[in-house]
Amino acid sequence: MKTRHKRLLLILAGLVILGAVAALVLNAFQSNLVFFFSPTQVAAGEAPKGKAFRIGGMVKEGSIRREADGVTLSFVVTDTEQDIAVRYQGILPDLFKEGKGAVAQGKIGDDGVFVASEVLAKHDENYMPPEAAQAVGEAHARALMKKAQETTVSP
């Protein structure tokens, strides 16, 4: 085999190995990618079925219910337009409270309840996750526009 052929074979082998490594990295990245959805988007069916994603918004006042086992609880996340029931088994962050921002990661169960594997709470008085703040702001703006339209249309 000529030196030229050996060099070409070595370059092709290197490209194949580089392609395989790139495919493995992209596959790992894709499987660990978790998207954020607002309760309105989840209610509209935009959230993936059977895949993990994050849902965020405000914890609805009066919605936190603890089960008898002491570690399972349910609550409602709202963006002021839609509400999504969430069930979580585990220890909640200290800052998790009704009326405050929260983000939950998990999947939609067969019963339509979001089953969270992780719950995150805001870390100070002025913080809300950017995605949750945007979703709540957009839902609030839509509610105001709807109310304004109802006011102007009413006789």
pLDDT digits (tens, 9 = 90+) for 19-57: 999 999 888 877 666 788 888 888 888 888 888 888 988
pLDDT digits (tens, 9 = 90+) for 49-104: 888 888 988 899 998 998 888 888 999 998 888 889 999 998 888 888 888 888 89
Question: What is the per-residue pLDDT for 142?
Answer: 82
Higher pLDDT: 142 or 18? It is: 18
List CB contacts of 65: < 8 A, sequence separation 6 or more.
73, 74, 75
Question: What is the per-residue pLDDT for 22?
Answer: 93
Q: Hey, is 76 helix, strand or coil? A: strand
* Tokens of residue 29, six digits: 């990245």
> What integer is the mean pLDDT of 11-15?
94
* Tokens of residue 69, six digits: 């086992």
Question: What is the per-residue pLDDT for 125?
Answer: 52
Q: To the nearest 5 percent, what fractions of the chain are helix, strand and coil? A: 40, 25, 35
Please report, rounded to a whole number, the percentage of residues in the chain having pLDDT higher than 70. 90
- pTM listed for this prediction: 0.62
> What integer is the mean pLDDT of 133-145?
78
The alpha carbons of the chain give a radius of gyration, in whole angstroms, of 23
> What integer is the mean pLDDT of 101-112?
88
Furthest C-alpha separation in the chain:
92
* Tokens of residue 97, six digits: 């409270």
> What integer is the mean pLDDT of 115-127?
75
> What integer is the mean pLDDT of 135-151?
78
CA angle, 98 as apex, 96 and 104 as ends, to 5°?
Answer: 50
Q: Can you tell me the distance from the alpha carbon of 16 to that of 10, in angstroms, rounded to the nearest whole number? A: 10
